[in-house]
Amino acid sequence: MKNTILFLSCLILLCGCATKKPASKVSKQDLEMFRKTFEGTLLSKKFEPYTREEPVMGLPFWTKPITAYYFQITVMDKNGKVRKFYEYSEEKNRKAELQQYNNELANGDAVIVDLGYIDEGHPEELFDFITKKSY
């Protein structure tokens, strides 16, 4: 009987521990300090719309067009390092952002390219967003 009570007590204790969420000590603001950026002068930009046909319900004769935008920029930092950043998207909101970048940015603008939390240092890399730097 004592063993059964002890077993049930341990089981209840373990179930309580398993369902309790640990206290989060890292906030979103703490993570923001690890965001990677690349700052420099915009040398060139390329904006290309794409359209592809996708079958509807697997039928080859019934297709719908899917549009996407590809946006690429070339940026040179103050040390002369040149990198290219790009984004390709089929999502409506992201396509609007890419079109806005194309309309608002001009060659020679000082820009800050946000890469998210990882900067792989490759000559061409994905970006999260671009901010035009004002003096």
* Residue 52 within any structural domain of the chain: yes
**Count of domains for the chain:** 1
Domain hosting residue 128, numbered range: 33-132
Specify if 50 maps to a domain: yes
| 16, part of any domain | no
Domain assignment present for residue 128? The answer is yes
Q: What is the pLDDT along the chain (135 residues), one digit of tens a residue?
A: 667 676 666 667 666 665 556 666 766 666 666 788 899 999 999 999 999 888 888 777 888 898 999 999 999 999 999 999 999 999 999 999 999 999 999 999 999 999 888 777 777 888 999 999 876
115 lies in a domain?
A: yes
Q: Is residue 123 part of a domain?
A: yes
| Secondary structure letter of residue 121 according to DSSP | -
Q: pTM score, two decimals?
A: 0.70
Q: What is the CATH classification number for the domain harbouring 43?
A: 2.40.50.140
DSSP string, 22-82: PPP---HHHHHTT-EEEEEEEEEEEEEEEEEEEEETTEEEEEEEEEEEEEEEEEE-TTS-E
Residue 76 lies in a domain: yes
